Amino acid sequence: MDMVAGKVKMTQQSVNSTMNPIDALERPIRLTARDVTVHYGAKQALHGISIDIPDRAVTSFIGPSGCGKSTFLRCINRMNDTIEGAKVGGTIKLDGDDIYDPNLDVVELRARIGMVFQKPNPFPKSIYENVAYGPKIHGLARSKTDMDEIVVSSLRKAGLFEEVKDRLNEPGTGLSGGQQQRLCIARAIAVGPEVILMDEPCSALDPIATAIIEELIDELRENYTIVIVTHSMQQAARVSQRTAFFHLGNLIEEGVTEDIFTNPEHKQTQDYIMGRIG
Amino acid sequence: MNSLIIAGMLLVLLGLAYQSGWSRSRGLVTSAGVKVHSRPQYHGSYVAIWALLPALVILGLWGWFGDGITTNFISGQIPADTLSGLDPVALNATIARIKSLASGYGVAGDVQPFEQVAADALRSFQFITFLVVVGAAAVAGGAALFYARSRITARLRARNAVERVVNIALMACSGVAILTTIGIVASLLTEAIRFFSFVSPLEFFFGTVWNPSFSSTDTGAHGQYGLLPLLAGTLMITVIAMLVAVPVGLMAAIYLSQYAHPRLRAVAKPIIEILAGIPTIVFGFFALVTVGPFLRDLGGFIGLDIKATSALTAGVVMGIMIIPFVSSLSDDILNQVPRTLRDGAYGLGATKSETIRNVLLPAALPGIVGAFLLAVSRAVGETMIVVLAAGNSPVLRGNPFEPVATITVSIVNQLTGDSDFAGPQSLVAFALGLTLFVITLCLNIFALYIVRRFREQYE
């Protein structure tokens, strides 16, 4: 209920004003990456990425197409494991535990680090089942009542419940693009993750749906560590507290979003922000 | 020899026409200041099409009417008193003999003098008509060539004209496929209707006894043509085949598309598909020689009375035959499921098998069902395996360990041997064929409908 009220409040503000200049550096560090490299077959896609990602803040990865930002994002929940021929080097730690530890259970890791994809990809099931799927496979609900609660609260957190409460049993694929993407966010939230990775979540959406998702991201950061890949610098400026600029498989620079956009250290970053490369 | 000359003539005409259109077009480029509408090869093709069409029409007309004209000519050569003494069958035989003589192959028996005379006349007649026809074709083609060539100007839209001809040619090709189907269905229908004048449809579709062989047309008794035993046999074998093919084929498809290493997949997939290339007669004797005795022994071992030739034998082997069909189609369909959907499940922390069971298969289900239905229609129409391995026992019974007969086998039985083609014994084959056709048609339409609905979901 709070979330719905909060959402109403948010929509009354302009999206720009949601950029809250918190000092993200004061937040504890959740994710630590050191010298991460990725090879696809013989081709090297990432050259030694090192970055710290703070707790309960939005970190955005920007950069031109093919710069490796999505590749790095997919390293964080080991989605690259599902790609043939991909090889990841270096270390990524979540709360100090190496996620590439051979003893670590990938399935559990992905429950802790949820993901939202570029194209809304609801399963061809009902809205309810889409959200309930994650909790079901991880055994999070003891009863039907538990499950109902998880589904409703996840849909609320994703700001979708009011729109779909009367048609939870209709297929998720029947929703609009923006609603589908929020359904995917609800689906990710339902598992109870600590980190949510978003891979260009608005690139397939119209401006209004994009604004709604951006507001949602801003709300979600109170409870989740969020990493978002975006090709829109405006979006990075609007939703993130920290920004990392990638170019040709290298992390050029990262820091507080405001600093990156107003006072970048590297010329490449400045060129990209001014629209000279990309 | 004649066809070679005609083909050569047409090729020469084609080459000349193309060349002349092309060269004239090249001339245009240098002389005229106007922008030329089409490139030289279109002008070449334009003239070639113009030249070829009249030639082909003349040759086609000769092909259509030539036989009748020749036959009339031969009848004219036979002396009137001999001609009046011949009934139509004997006349046909005589004409065939004369044709053989004229072609130089010779005939059996003594050659009568009038036959030799007629053959000589026919030979010169054929020579002359051939020259006339080919000549006419060449002249018409040549005339058309010059006409078309004279039409070439800078603004001639040869490119569009060629496009139209290509369009028509393509349409004609698809027309052939459709017309053939219609023709086959029409002939099935008319023959089946003739059959139903002997045996009532009620008796055919709901009769439980199949016994067409004990009577002949002379006695007026027709035998019994109950479809149900054959339908039951067909269904039983199909069900057994699908019980074998569906699980194995589907699992193979899942393994190949989701688990197999690409290198293994590159080897294994073609090997499975080779199974589909084995002639069904080979599967048939594999069933007869190996699987049947094996199943009989196995049955004896566990205390079941399984006949060596039975619905089980035929069904199992047919199932093996269909495996590549099911696995290949299912594999394609599984690969069509968008990768994003799989990523979504993995991203939630689903394991591989959970992803396959809960996301991939439900998403692919309509398509897979479509693949199964296509496989069923193959199984229903399969003949050779059943001829050899099912035991041909058209009796209505529910035991799969006993021999059965299917619709296809009965068609083979009714059309082979020396039965009268006007009697119900043979005509029943058309009724059976029609039944089979309707069954597979319905299955295919249903399958295509399902497959299409599945496609729309992702595009």
Q: How far apart are CA B225 and CA B204, in angstroms?
A: 5
Considering only residues B119 and A147, tell me which one the structure prediction assigns the higher pLDDT: A147
pLDDT of residue B32: 54
Q: What's the mean pLDDT in B241-268?
A: 91
Confidence of residue B79 (pLDDT cuts 50, 70, 90): confident
Tell me the CA distances in angstroms from A153 to A156, A178, B285, one per residue in order: 5, 19, 64
10 Å Cβ neighbour count for B441? 12
The whole-number pLDDT of residue B451 equals 74
Q: What percent of chain B has pLDDT over 90?
A: 27
What is residue A263's DSSP assignment?
S
Question: Span B199-222, mean pLDDT?
Answer: 73
Q: What is the pLDDT of residue A278?
A: 54
Partners of B348 on chain A (C-beta within 8 Å) are 110-111, 114, 133-134, 137, 187-188, 191
Q: Residue B342 and residue A133: Cβ atoms within 8 Å?
A: no
Tokens of B289: 């020689």
- Whether chain B has a CB inside 8 Å of the CB on A111: the answer is yes
Let me know: does A182 contact A159? Beta carbons within 8 Å: yes
Q: What percent of chain B has pLDDT over 70?
A: 94
Pairing of strands B210-211, B224-225: antiparallel
Contacts of A123 in chain B (CB under 8 A): 341, 344-345, 358-359, 362-363
| Of B112 and B314, more confident | B314
B348/A110 CB distance under 8 A: yes
Q: What pLDDT score does A15 carry?
A: 39
A54 vs A40: CA distance, rounded Å: 28
Burial of A203 (0-12, 13-18, 19+ CB in 10 A): middle
- Smallest CA-to-CA distance from A190 within A143, A159, A147 is with A147
Neighboring chain A residues of B263 at a CB cutoff of 8 Å: none
Residues of A in contact with B358 (CB under 8 A): 123, 133, 137
User: B210-211 and A250-256 as β-strands: parallel, antiparallel, unpaired?
Assistant: unpaired
Q: In the structure, what pLDDT confidence band is assigned to residue B154 with cuts at 50, 70 and 90?
A: confident
Asked whether residue B121 carries a pLDDT value surpassing 90, the answer given is no
pLDDT range class, residue B80, cuts 50, 70, 90: confident
Q: For residue A52, how many other CB atoms are within 10 A of its CB?
A: 17
Cβ-count burial A183-200 (b if 16+ within 10 Å, e if not) = bbbbbbbbbbbbbbbbbb
Type and span of the H or E element at A237: helix A233-239
Distance between B265 CA and the closest CA of chain A, angstroms: 13
User: Which H or E element spans position A196?
Assistant: strand A195-199
pLDDT tens profile B12-70: 989 999 998 888 888 776 555 677 788 888 888 999 999 999 999 999 998 888 888 88
Report residue B15 as tokens: 């080459």
Q: How many CB pairs under 8 A join A and B?
A: 71
Kindly report the nearest CA distance between residue B367 and chain A, in angstroms: 14
Please give, rounded to a whole number of angstroms, the shortest distance from the CA of A128 to a CA of chain B.
14
Whether the predicted pLDDT of B364 surpasses 60 = yes
pLDDT at B459: 44
User: Does A77 lie at the interface with B, CB-CB under 8 angstroms?
Assistant: yes
Nearest alpha-carbon partner for A37 in A49, A51, A25, A28: A49
Q: For chain B, which residues make up each domain, given as ranges?
A: 2-156, 224-458
Q: What is the pLDDT along chain A (278 residues), one digit of tens a residue?
A: 444 443 333 333 333 434 444 554 567 888 999 999 999 988 999 999 999 999 999 999 999 988 899 999 999 999 988 888 889 999 999 998 999 998 999 988 999 999 999 999 998 889 999 999 999 999 998 999 999 999 999 999 898 999 999 999 998 888 999 999 999 999 999 999 999 999 999 988 889 989 999 999 999 999 999 999 998 888 999 999 999 999 999 999 999 999 999 989 999 899 898 887 65
Task: Measure the CA–CA gap between A207 and A235, rounded to whole angstroms.
Answer: 11
**Structure-token pair, residue A110:** 């992905």
Q: ipTM score here?
A: 0.83
Query: Which sequence spans correspond to the domains of chain A?
Result: 2-16+27-273
Alpha-carbon distance of B297 to B300, in angstroms, equals 5
C-alpha–C-alpha distance, residues A71 and A37, integer Å: 10
CA distance B139 to B9: 11
Q: Do B348 and A133 touch (CB under 8 A)?
A: yes
Taking the C-alpha atoms of residue A255 and residue A263, their distance in angstroms, rounded to an integer, is 10
Chain A contact set for B347 (CB, 8 A):
77, 79, 110, 114-117, 188
Q: Tell if the CB–CB gap between A191 and B363 is shorter than 8 Å.
A: no
Compare B411 and B87 and report the one with higher pLDDT.
B411
B90 vs A92, more confident: A92
Report how far residue B438's alpha carbon sits from residue B421's, in angstroms, rounded to the nearest whole number: 23
Phi, psi of A102 (to 5 degrees): -60, -25
The DSSP element (H or E) to which A54 belongs, if any, is strand A43-54
Which among A185-199, B66-80, B214-228, B256-270 has the top mean pLDDT?
Answer: A185-199
Interface test with B, best of A119, A183, A200, A203 (most B CBs within 10 A): A119
Residue B417: band (very low, low, confident or very high) from pLDDT cuts 50, 70, 90? confident
> Is residue B148 a contact partner of residue B21, using CB atoms and an 8 Å limit?
yes
At CA A262, angle to CA A260 and CA A268, rounded to 5?
55
Residues contacting A188, CB < 8 A, separation 6+:
A114, A115, A116, A134, A196, B347, B348
Question: SS in 3 state form for chain B?
Answer: CHHHHHHHHHHHHHHHHHHHHHHHHHHHHHHCCCCCCCCHHHHHHHHHHHHHHHHHHHHHHHHHHHHHHHHHHHHHHCCHHHHHCCCHHHHHHHHHHHHHHHHCCCCCCCCCHHHHHHHHHHHHHHHHHHHHHHHHHHHHHHHHHHHHHHHCCCCCCHHHHHHHHHHHHHHHHHHHHHHHHHHHHHHHHHHHHHHHHHCCHHHHHHCCCEECCCCCHHHCCCCEECCHHHHHHHHHHHHHHHHHHHHHHHHHHHHHHHHCCHHHHHHHHHHHHHHHHCCHHHHHHHHHHHHHHHHHHHHHHHCCCCCCCCHHHHHHHHHHHHHHHHHHHHHHHHHHCCHHHHHHHHHCCCCHHHHHHHHHHHHHHHHHHHHHHHHHHHHHHCCHHHHHHCECCCCCCCCCCCCECCHHHHHHHHHCCCCCCCCHHHHHHHHHHHHHHHHHHHHHHHHHHHHHHHHHHHC
> How far does the CA of residue B362 sit from the closest CA of chain A (Å)?
8
Give me the phi and psi of B300, to 5 degrees please.
Answer: -60, -35
Amino acid at B149: R
**Quick one: average pLDDT of B242-260?**
92
**A56 vs A76: CA distance, rounded Å:** 16
Nearest of A255, A236, A249 to residue A62 by alpha carbon: A236
Shortest CA distance to B40 belongs to which of B203, B180, B187, B158? B158
The CATH T-level fold of domain A2-16+27-273 is Rossmann fold (3.40.50)
Question: What's the pLDDT tens digit per position in A239-257?
Answer: 999 999 999 999 999 999 9
What integer is the mean pLDDT of B300-329? 90
Higher pLDDT, A226 or B203: A226
What is the nearest CA distance from B269 to chain A, expressed in angstroms? Answer: 18
The two tokens of residue A182 are 């929020």
Q: Do B348 and A184 touch (CB under 8 A)?
A: no
| Chain B residues near residue A185 by CB distance under 8 angstroms | none
The H or E element containing residue A228 is strand A225-229
Q: φ and ψ at A123, to 5 degrees?
A: -70, 155
Q: Inter-chain contact B349–A173, Cβ cutoff 8 Å?
A: no
List the single residue in A with minimal CA-CA distance to B340: A121
pLDDT at residue B316 greater than cutoff 90: yes
- Angstroms from A202 CA to nearest CA on chain B: 15
- Record: contact A115-B362, CB cut-off 8 A: no
CB contact under 8 A, A84 and B358: no
Interface of A with B in 114-173 (CB under 8 A): 114-119, 121-125, 133-134, 137-138, 173
Distance (Å) from the alpha carbon of B270 to chain A's nearest alpha carbon: 21
Residue B105 structure tokens: 């192959």
Residue of A nearest to B355 (CA): A137
Answer whether A277's CB lies under 8 Å from A252's CB: no
What count of other Cβ atoms lies within 10 Å of the Cβ of residue B72? 10
Residue A134 CB: number of other CB atoms within 10 A? 28
DSSP-based three-state secondary structure for A114: strand
B224-458: CATH superfamily: MetI-like (1.10.3720.10)
Dihedral of alpha carbons B58, B60, B65, B69, sign: positive
CA-CA distance, A113 to A102, in Å (whole number)? Answer: 17
What digits encode the pLDDT tens for the residues B273-313? 888 889 989 999 899 999 999 999 998 898 888 888 889 99
pLDDT of residue B221: 60
In this complex, do A117 and B347 lie within 8 Å of one another by their Cβ atoms? yes
